[in-house]
Amino acid sequence: MIGKLKGVIDSYGEDYVILDVQGVGYQVHCSARTLQALPSIGEAAVMSIETYVREDQIKLFGFRSDVEREWFRLLQTVQGVGAKVALAVLSTLPPADLANAIALRDKAAVSRTPGVGPKVAERIVTELKDKAPAFASIDPAIVHLSGAMDDSRAPRPVIDAISALVNLGYGQPQAAAAIASASRSAGEAAETAQLIRLGLKELAK
């Protein structure tokens, strides 16, 4: 199995790159985000590789990092997500943003991916939620708050404050993060209005 390739960019296709490794041209399929980040033709490149072997073909998928490749694998453990959809998700969201979206159950962010409907987005954030924190760069308290909100276990002032910020046009994850921070500084007895005020200060930073 090929796990890594180091060579020179020979040419680009619509969804792949030809990587020349000591005279052998490997066709490597990539996400749009990876293709945009690769160097110009004739320049050196190193790629993490996922090798697919089928009865009628061998296909290589390339990534800028091992973390991105790991997400490619993780996404395909979800029912209804194959290699094409996994690449599309990684084209839309870089690994850190994808991890944050899953940790915060942000189905809307995942469903921005072309070809990913609400049901598949729901499965992605649900089935991968326990694996996301290892990759996420967000405060665990925010993940906890998000989970509490899903189960209606968060205090009523917190839920109302987040709802108010969402109504003002902020995204659910941003609102949850701001109110989580506000709640920590104000304490458990904080009223909705105080949380909204502090939350808006957080968002203005």
pLDDT band at 103 (very low <50, low <70, confident <90, very high): confident
Query: CA-CA distance, 109 to 100, in Å (whole number)?
Result: 10
pLDDT band at 89 (very low <50, low <70, confident <90, very high): very high
**pLDDT greater than 70 at residue 138:** no
Contact 199, 160 (CB under 8 A): no
Question: What's the topology of domain 4-63?
Answer: OB fold (Dihydrolipoamide Acetyltransferase, E2P) (2.40.50)
Q: What pLDDT score was predicted for residue 141?
A: 52
For the beta carbon of residue 205, count every other beta carbon within 10 angstroms: 6
**pLDDT greater than 70 at residue 153:** no
Q: Which of 17-26, 36-45, 104-113 has the lowest mean pLDDT?
A: 104-113
Q: What pLDDT score was predicted for residue 180?
A: 79
Q: What are the C-alpha distances in Å from 30 to residues 121, 139, 156, 191?
A: 21, 31, 45, 49
Higher pLDDT, 8 or 160: 8
Query: CA-CA distance, 108 to 46, in Å (whole number)?
Result: 33
**pLDDT greater than 50 at residue 121:** yes
Segments making up each domain of the chain, as ranges: 4-63, 66-134, 140-204
Q: Which candidate, 127, 49, 29, 134, places its Cα nearest to that of 81?
A: 127
Query: CA-CA distance, 86 to 74, in Å (whole number)?
Result: 9
Name the pTM for this structure. Answer: 0.66
Cα Rg for the chain, rounded, in angstroms? 21
Same fold, 4-63 and 66-134: no
pLDDT in tens, 35-64: 999 999 999 999 999 999 888 889 999 998
CATH architecture of 66-134: Orthogonal Bundle (1.10)
pLDDT in tens, 177-190: 788 788 888 877 78
